[in-house]
Amino acid sequence: MENLQSILLPGVSHNRPLVIAGPCSAETPEQVLSTAKQLAENGIKIFRSGIWKPRTKPGGFEGVGVIGLEWLKEVKKETGMYVATEVANRDHVQAALAADVDILWIGARTSANPFAMQEIADSLKGVDVPVLVKNPVNPDLELWIGAIERIYNAGIRRLGAIHRGFSTYGKHLYRNLPQWHIPIELHRRIPELPILCDPSHIGGKRELVAPISQQAMDMGFDGLIVESHCDPDCAWSDKSQQVLPEVLNFMLNTLVIRDTKQTTENLTLLRQQIDRIDNELLEILNKRMRVSREIGQYKKEHSMQIVQTGRYDDILKSRIAQAVDMGMSGDFMRDVLQAIHEESVRQQIEVLNDRAK
């Protein structure tokens, strides 16, 4: 696969990871320039900053608008960095291109909306600019691929994806659940498409930026887009997830970049072990489903309802506690149990409808 940097910015020297960094939002000319200068001093070559901010609720800071594009021009002039910003409609695209923005990205709320994506794609026809498409807020790989396809069909070839996690209801360790299998499946489906990870929006907290970045590197992601601010505690948006430029630099220096293509004999042996364990897992799951079907039969004969929430809550609580004791994450175990429960219910419904094999 061609290197991300040579795809997005031909001629720029490259090493994995490609790093894009900068504040969530442009706030003032001073904040933009001071952050950019500190990042540039730390070796960052691509500066990010939101100008138009899609906020969950009205009344929040919605971005400084087109004036911020002037500040990005200043960043280019003063630091020689490339600049990137988020676009969500035709006007944004036109204004950003007119201001010589080097890379455009499409946010998670926009990539979830095919009308907005088509409008953006139409406004990019005949233009040669790198475009990065964030995953939609909901975990829908087809919607993500559809958004990417619209941009590709408009003629854009310098194209990449950004994994920023998926919205969820309730309190979790992550702000947006990583659901790593989704970007991994995207990579399987479109192997030549570079993928960056956005640890800031996945984690939502400073202390998660480094571990998530490491995980992304271990999984072979091409790059990172990280929120960094000259005074994170005073940021006008996403302050709990932004890091100082020097902290970002420290984190990047401590990242371990492993050769993702390396396959040693040991690795082969370990993979064989995983294959065997997966087989055992499947056998055990199948055994569990058979018992579920028997329970379904019992419920049918006694006219009982299939989903009994009290029982399900007990299962969740005890198994999650057990998993945490064993060193696994509670969120992970909840996801596994939910998936197993859904399949059990589906099997019991089959029994109810007399379609069980």
Which residues are at the interface with Mn ion (CB under 5 A)? 24, 238
Rounded-to-integer distance, Cα 289 and Cα 188, Å: 29
Q: What separation in angstroms does the CA of 211 have from each of 44, 89, 218, 325, 348?
A: 20, 33, 10, 21, 40
The nearer residue to ligand PEP, 107 or 203, going by C-beta atoms, is 107
Which of Mn ion, ligand PEP, none is residue 187 near (CB under 5 to 8 Å by kind)? none
Q: Shortest approach of ligand PEP to residue 309 CB, angstroms?
A: 33
Binding site for ligand PEP (CB under 6 A): 24, 50, 86, 107-108, 134, 164, 201
- Output 161 or 252, the one with its CB closest to ligand PEP: 161
In the complex, minimum distance from the CB of residue 125 to Mn ion, in angstroms, rounded to a whole number = 29
Compare residues 25 and 42 and give the one whose CB is closer to Mn ion.
25
- Look at strands 131-134 and 103-106 and give their pairing: parallel
CA distance 272 to 257: 24
In whole angstroms, what is the distance from residue 115 CA to residue 111 CA? Answer: 9
* CB nearer ligand PEP, residue 193 or residue 320: 193
Q: How far is CA 185 from the centre of its chain?
A: 13
Output the smallest distance, CB 69 to ligand PEP, in A: 16
C-beta of 191: minimal distance to ligand PEP in Å? 24
Residue 268 CB, nearest distance to ligand PEP (Å)?
Answer: 37
* Strand pairing class (82-86; 103-106): parallel
First to last CA, the chain: 45
Cβ closest to ligand PEP, residue 16 vs residue 134: 134
In 216-346, at which residue ranges do the beta strands (DSSP E only) sit?
223-227
Which residue's CB comes closest to Mn ion? 24
Which residues is 195 bridged to in the sheet? 161
Say which entry of ligand PEP, Mn ion, none residue 108 contacts (CB below 5 to 8 A, set by partner kind): ligand PEP
For ligand PEP, the closer of residues 107 and 183 by Cβ is: 107
Q: How far is CA 160 from the centre of its chain?
A: 12
134 binds, among Mn ion, ligand PEP, none (CB under 5 to 8 A by kind): ligand PEP
| Contact partner, 107, from Mn ion, ligand PEP, none, Cβ < 5-8 Å per class | ligand PEP
Nearest approach in angstroms of CB 1 to ligand PEP is: 24
3-class SS string, 12-68: CCCCCCEEEEECCECCCHHHHHHHHHHHHHCCCCEEECECCCCCCCCCCCCCCCCHH
> What is the DSSP code (8-state) at residue 17?
S
